[in-house]
A and B are shown apart, each in its own frame.
Chain A
Amino acid sequence: MNSQTLSQTAADIDSADTATGAGSHVEAHPETVARQARPLRFITCGSVDDGKSTLIGRLLWDTKAVKEDQAATLRRDSTGKQNELGLPDFALLLDGLQAEREQGITIDVAYRYFATDRRSFIVADTPGHVQYTRNMATGASTADLAVLLVDARAGILEQTRRHATIAALMGIRQFVLAVNKIDLAQYDEARFRAISRDFKEIALSLGVRQVTAIPVSALKGENIVLRGDDVMPWYSGPTLVETLEKATQRTGQTTGFRLPVQRVSRPGEGFRGYQGTVAGGSIKPGDSVVVLPSGVEANVKAIVTYDLVRNAAVSGDAITLVLDRPVDVARGDMIAAIDQRPQTGRAFSARLVALSPDGVVPGKRYWLKAGARRQRVMVRPTSALDLATGNWDDATFLPVNGIGVVDLDFEDTAIFDPYETNRETGAFILIDPESLNTVAGGMIDGKCSKSGRFDALPDADRATVTLPARLLEAFLKTEFARSHAGEIRVTGPEEVDAE
């Protein structure tokens, strides 16, 4: 139901009249109308040489996201570094840290904000150098779309393929190829077509079908916000901003209802609410849910928010859920649709991006955090991706910036959906138990079948045990019940409601 809601939103955006006519200026008065969509989050990939900072600077400048005093600071900083058009050096606007200004490089992910009258945008501006794969993965983890930048004169480079691979791996399914510095390639249409063709092949090999290629000059501002018809009459496609305005939000959530429980709210006698952000599907009072890993079932009694009692909640909503019977729910548990459960088990397979200088070490006990759930895990890399060739080679260790396939071995029950079907409940981070640093980001492929789920058990392997209610709670707290949570199904007694 959630995906319908969101695709409806996307359709509205698609059908919005974006044909403002050739040469017309995209109005840049932000926020005059209520936004009909969430902010679009995108990532830009490319190196300093491709003109990435200039591209983002141009986006901010032409949508009037840069204010006069910031521009004045820029002019003061960039003595003698103004470009030929008399504009400030945009890179200085973006490189906010002193070390970056000193070295002329971007060393960290920065987030930028701009808006047109149709939509607002959050750009994760990430460095292009190979040693900063981890930063790109960070920026890509929340992005709906990737803008890949190439120099029209140089064409597709090794790093373009690398960036596209990481973006696809992190779940991005919409690419924009900005063929920059087209002015320096004499606005050559054939050159643009050839580069676009090469890139679309790469994208297809990564499973990305939604690709828009645009010839641009970031320096001159052609086909970024304003059209470049005068110099590129052969190009009739959208500008970069038009493409971004029409992009869809990747929901990545084809699962049923998911509520990772962040905290239990018990402000006084008689109220017990489970607080969290809906991470998939939708929910309304009366719906049946299961609490995982315990397996206890219940019905939704109410959805409480500060403003009002709601009749429904959808993915992304931060809510407080009240169930119709007293059940044992703790932070880290997941409340899920009874008929569309996530996978539970002690062994999963995942892809991992190593973020720390120490890499990811086989056999080490890490902390794994997914949603609000934190637990111990042993990680065993089995293969690593060679970004140069696109091949997965056998591996037992992942160095920093390495991307690999790993087996996860948990000490107690883990709860996941495959990342393919749910980006929220299929993602996790690894935390080093000594340094407490975040050392890897991971995406679940699926459960490794070692112990079967209850639902998968043939009838002959099931037995029903009936317990008095007062014993049930004690039973669920035993080590045995906890360690076999995925295999035990518990139905609580019907609550006798005195109302």
Chain B
Amino acid sequence: MNVIEHGRGKPPLDPHLKALENEAIHIFREVAAEFERPVMLYSIGKDSSVLLHLALKAFHPGKLPFPLVHINTGWKFPEMIAFRDAVVAKHGLDLISHTNPEGLRDNVTPFSHGSARYTDIMKTQALKQALDMGRYDAAFGGARRDEEASRAKERIYSFRTPDHAWDPRNQRPELWSIYNGMIHPGESVRAFPLSNWTEVDIWRYIQAEQIELVPLYFAARRKIVERDGMLIWAADKRLELLPGEQVREEMVRFRTLGCYPLTGAVRSEATTLDEVITELEIATVSERQGRAIDRDQSGSMEKKKREGYF
């Protein structure tokens, strides 16, 4: 059968991406139908951009039947916040931005408290606060199983205790595409529609669907400083230079986006989507290489997830 698509002048998706898209839409609809108070965690990055695009597709012609939550640590790239606000306005989204008030009060920064404690207070604890305040019983996230070894074992519906903890040894079996959305009061589920996507799938989908991204993903001359083998963005006054460090300008881009002090840039000349994809295809390091928090110890992601991290 020839399925004729005459849409927005885009060629139809190839069967591989179409299958991934169909699966994600199915998960969105299932969670929205089964849970009372779903929410979507929106982190502004490329995976969140794909996630949001899929959500818009899933509920078309209706609006999203849930709000978005952004955990704002106060240390995001300014370009990310500007992009976030533009996206919210464009699609008429209901976005809740949350910052851990205690962390703010105690002036918890990546520099003063170290990446592990900072991440726990400003991200993990902040996320739990936001979820508790909204009494959300399901939270969508953009995590993929190819990102990290403990993620590879996580279910699409990742069951969480009232403390938001993940118990990897006690996960519900997940067969076919039938999801068990039944929970007791206080318990919740993190739902991952992008579980089966790889990094390359994300980029090819962005290309095929013409999804807008934060410009930081594309190479430009940016102020950076080299620290612990990472290239740190150095255009914020709050970044204090250590002895011997020098700010310089280089052509760099970011493979993942988070808090700028914890996110390493890569040297790159890729200024367009095509060039980024080409660069990716010959990349020999994984995207999480640029994330300081993953490098603390093997199994650190599993530890953080047990504590309630996404």
Nearest CB of chain A from residue B201's CB, rounded to whole Å: 8
Q: Does chain A have a CB within 8 A of B108?
A: no
- Within 20-69 of B, Cβ neighbours of A (below 8 Å) are at 20-22, 25-26, 29-30, 32-33, 56-63
B residues near A314, Cβ cutoff 8 Å: 1, 3
* B286 lies within 8 A of A107 (CB): no
Cα distance A113–B153 in the bound complex, in angstroms: 13
Whether B33 lies near A308 (C-beta < 8 A) is: no
Say whether A320 faces chain B, with CB atoms less than 8 Å apart.
yes
Chain B positions 166-188 with a Cβ under 8 Å from a chain A Cβ:
168-169, 171-178, 180, 182-184
CB-CB < 8 A to B238: which residues of A? none
Contact B57 A306 (CB under 8 A): yes
A341 CA / B62 CA spacing, docked (Å): 30
Instruction: Name the one of A9, A98, A424 contacting B176, with C-beta atoms under 8 angstroms.
Output: A424
- Chain A contact residue count (CB 8 A cutoff): 88
Q: Are B150 and A97 in contact (CB under 8 A)?
A: yes
Taking A307-B8, A429-B176, A429-B178 as known contacts, 5 extra A-B pairs with beta carbons closer than 8 A to each other, sorted by chain A number, are A34-B16, A267-B63, A307-B10, A310-B5, A436-B180
Q: In the complex, what residues of B have CB within 8 A of residue A371's CB?
A: 178
Set A9, A112, A367: member contacting B182, Cβ < 8 A: A367
In whole angstroms, what is the CA distance A76 to B26 when docked?
40
Q: Which residues of A contact B176 (CB under 8 A)?
A: 141-142, 423-424, 427, 429, 441
Does A68 lie within 8 Å of B284, measured CB to CB? yes
A-B interface contact total, Cβ < 8 Å:
210
Q: Which residue of B57, B62, B200 contacts A267 across the interface (Cβ within 8 Å)?
A: B62
Assess whether B149 is interfacial by the CB under 8 Å rule. yes
Query: A31 at the A/B interface (Cβ < 8 Å)?
Result: yes
In chain A, residues 86-102, which have Cβ atoms closer than 8 Å to a Cβ of chain B? 93-99, 101
A328 beta carbon closer than 8 Å to chain B = no
**B92 adjacent to chain A (CB < 8 Å):** no
Closest Cβ–Cβ distance, residue B12 to chain A (whole Å): 9
Query: CA separation between A436 and B195, bound complex, in Å?
Result: 23
A267 to B183, CA, bound (A): 28
If the complex has contacts A276-B29, A306-B57, are A1 and B16 also in contact, measured as CB distance less than 8 A?
no
- Which residue of chain B has its CB nearest to the CB of A356? B173
Smallest CB gap from A73: residue in B: B298
Instruction: Choose one: B26, B169, B302; the contact of A96 (CB below 8 Å).
Output: B302
- By a CB distance below 8 angstroms, the chain A residues around B298 are 73, 76-77, 101
Chain A residues lying within 8 Å of B10, measured Cβ to Cβ, are: 307
Separation of A127 and B22 alpha carbons in the complex (Å): 29
The 4 tightest CB contacts between A and B, nearest first, are: A96-B149, A35-B16, A308-B7, A267-B62
A residues 245-289 near B (Cβ < 8 Å) are 262-263, 265-267, 271, 273, 275-277, 282
**CB < 8 Å neighbour of A282 from B1, B180, B182, B201:** B1
Query: Can you identify 14 A-B contacts, CB atoms within 8 angstroms?
Result: A39-B19, A76-B298, A96-B148, A96-B149, A111-B195, A113-B145, A265-B59, A307-B8, A311-B3, A317-B22, A424-B176, A429-B173, A438-B173, A438-B175
Residues of A contacting B303 in the complex (Cβ-Cβ under 8 angstroms) = 98
B308 to chain A, nearest CB (A): 17
With a cutoff of 8 Å between Cβ atoms, the chain B residues found around residue A9 in the complex are: 15
- Contact of A431 with B182 in the complex, beta carbons under 8 Å: yes
Which residues in chain B, 235-260, are within 8 Å of chain A measured between CB atoms? none
Partner of B302, one of A32, A98, A142: A98
A458 to B146, CA, bound (A): 57
**Residue contact B153 to A134, C-beta cutoff 8 Å:** no
A49 to chain B, nearest CB (A): 22
B169:A318 contact, CB within 8 angstroms: no
Instruction: List A contacts of B18 (CB < 8 A).
Output: 38, 316
- A408 nearest CB across to chain B (Å): 15
Q: Considering the chains assembled together, what is the distance between the CA atoms of A1 and B3 in angstroms?
A: 12
Whole-angstrom distance from the CB of B170 to the nearest CB of chain A?
Answer: 9
A:416-472 near B, CB below 8 Å: 423-424, 427-429, 431, 436-438, 441
> Contact partner of A438 among B63, B180, B277, B282, CB < 8 A?
B180
Closest residue of A by beta carbon distance from B146 = A113
Closest chain B residue to A97, Cβ basis:
B168
Q: Are A96 and B150 in contact (CB under 8 A)?
A: yes
B-chain residues with CB within 8 Å of residue A271 when the two chains form the complex:
61
Q: Is the CB of B153 within 8 A of A108?
A: yes
- A306 with B56, Cβ < 8 A, contacts A77-B298, A138-B173, A271-B61 known: yes
Contact partner, B153, options A38, A110, A266, A277, Cβ 8 Å? A110
Contact A262 B26 (CB under 8 A): yes
A29 at the B interface (CB under 8 A): yes
Contact of B33 among A67, A112, A331 (CB under 8 A): A331
Minimum CB–CB distance from A418 to chain B (whole Å) comes to: 15
A262 with B182: CB separation less than 8 A: no
CA distance A107 to B170 in the complex (A): 11
Please name all residues of chain B whose beta carbon is closer than 8 Å to the beta carbon of A316 when the two chains form the complex: 18-19, 22
How far does the alpha carbon of A69 sit from the alpha carbon of B284 in the complex, in Å?
8
| Nearest residue, chain A, Cβ from B303 | A98
Pick the residue among B61, B150, B171 that contacts A273 (CB under 8 A): B61
Q: How far is the CA of A345 from the CA of B151 in the complex (A)?
A: 41
With an 8 A cutoff between CB atoms, is A184 at the interface? no
Select one of B62, B184, B200, B289 contacting A30, CB under 8 A.
Answer: B200
